[in-house]
């Protein structure tokens, strides 16, 4: 709020709070974009250092503040985002701990092969139950992405939407172990996916296949949906493997 006030977008009134300014500078969109980009860069720098094994597993806030020249508030925002993304946690008492993530092409492939094993199988569980409301919500989300300009979405949101689809489908198995396992591996691959270049054409294909799986489930054709899910994940592995290997080569070069 203070940042927006300094840029002339908000006005602060004593004992009342912040209000939208009647007039605002024409360069406000650019200023906000620059501010957002800076925040992303700081977060990505920390993430990249963890991915490249340039940070110890356990650190103190003082160590991170000195290393990245950050204020306490800014570092807190970055660490909380890392917690939300599933690769950092606060230690009991003092300091922070960074959690394991996929850092190699081999790990990336293993994650997708694990998903190919559990996601189609979960759909064939005796306890699997079609939830029309869940399917309708996921259909709206996938259709909205296809109808929108994908360039307007941030990579984090695109990847989050994709992960949510798979997690909502596996939850229909009513076996919490399937869901917990998928959430865990999704967290482990997330940083690697963020760093890779987003392929918009692949995202269109991904959303289309998601909709096809939803259609089969709506028809009650669960076995066919399970087969399509495996084929969908297999195709994703083949498309993403070159990215993963490129990532592995980059790690070797930087080390």
Dump pLDDT digits (tens) for 72-89: 999 999 999 888 877 899
Residue 13 C-alpha from the chain's centroid? 38
Do residue 156 and residue 81 come from a single domain? no
Q: How far apart are the first and last CA of the chain?
A: 41
Do residue 140 and residue 94 come from a single domain? no
Do residue 131 and residue 94 come from a single domain? no
For residue 111, the surrounding DSSP H or E stretch is helix 105-123
Do residue 79 and residue 115 come from a single domain? no
Comparison of pLDDT for 45 and 85, the residue scoring more:
45
pLDDT at 179: 97
Q: Where are the alpha helices (DSSP H) in 124-221?
A: 132-147, 155-171, 176-195, 200-218
pLDDT at 254: 47
pLDDT at 207: 93
Map residue 216 onto helix, strand or coil. helix
Distance CA 175, CA 158 (A): 26
Do residue 175 and residue 243 come from a single domain? yes
Is the model's pLDDT at 244 over the cut of 50? no
Domain boundary among 41, 63, 98: 98
Do residue 88 and residue 148 come from a single domain? no
Do residue 157 and residue 247 come from a single domain? yes
Quick one: pLDDT band at residue 52, thresholds 50, 70, 90? confident
Domain boundary among 98, 116, 150: 98
Do residue 127 and residue 172 come from a single domain? yes
Please give the mean pLDDT across all residues of the chain.
Answer: 84
Is the model's pLDDT at 166 over the cut of 80? yes
Distance CA 242, CA 108 (A): 11
Map residue 14 onto helix, strand or coil. coil
pLDDT digits (tens, 9 = 90+) for 127-137: 999 999 999 99
> Domain residues for 91?
2-98
pLDDT at 81: 87
Domain boundary among 60, 81, 98: 98
Do residue 63 and residue 174 come from a single domain? no
The number of folded domains in the chain is: 2
Q: Go through 152-183 and write b for each residue having 16 or more CB atoms within 10 A of its CB, e for each that does not.
A: ebeebebbebbbebbebbbbbbebeebbebbb
Beta-carbon contacts of 145 under 8 Å, excluding residues fewer than 6 positions away, are 153, 158, 161, 203, 207
pLDDT digits (tens, 9 = 90+) for 141-159: 999 988 887 777 776 777 8
Map residue 4 onto helix, strand or coil. helix
Q: Give me 253's structure tokens.
A: 């070069």
Distance CA 171, CA 82 (A): 24
């Amino acid at each position: 709020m203070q940042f927006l006030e300094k840029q002339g977008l908000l006005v602060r009134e004593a004992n009342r709070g912040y209000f939208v300014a009647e007039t605002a500078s024409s360069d406000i969109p650019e200023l906000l974009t620059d501010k957002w980009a800076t925040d992303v860069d700081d977060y990505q720098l920390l993430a990249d250092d963890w991915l490249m094994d340039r940070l110890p597993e356990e650190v103190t806030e003082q160590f991170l503040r000195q290393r990245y020249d950050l204020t306490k508030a800014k570092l807190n925002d970055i660490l909380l985002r890392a917690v939300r993304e599933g690769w950092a946690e606060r230690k009991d008492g003092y300091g922070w701990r960074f959690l394991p993530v996929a850092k190699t092409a081999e790990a990336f492939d293993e994650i997708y092969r694990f998903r190919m094993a559990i996601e189609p199988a979960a759909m064939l569980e005796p306890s699997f139950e079609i939830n029309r409301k869940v399917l309708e919500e996921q259909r709206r989300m996938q259709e909205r992405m296809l109808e929108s300009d994908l360039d307007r979405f941030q990579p984090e949101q695109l990847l989050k939407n994709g992960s949510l689809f798979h997690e909502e489908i596996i939850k229909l198995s009513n076996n919490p172990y399937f869901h917990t396992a998928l959430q865990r591996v999704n967290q482990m691959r997330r940083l690697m996916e963020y760093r890779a270049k987003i392929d918009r054409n692949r995202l269109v294909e991904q959303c289309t296949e998601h909709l096809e799986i939803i259609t089969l489930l709506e028809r009650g054709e669960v076995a066919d949906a399970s087969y399509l899910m495996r084929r969908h994940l297999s195709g994703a592995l083949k498309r993403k493997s070159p990215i993963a290997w490129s990532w592995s080569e980059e790690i070797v070069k930087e080390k």
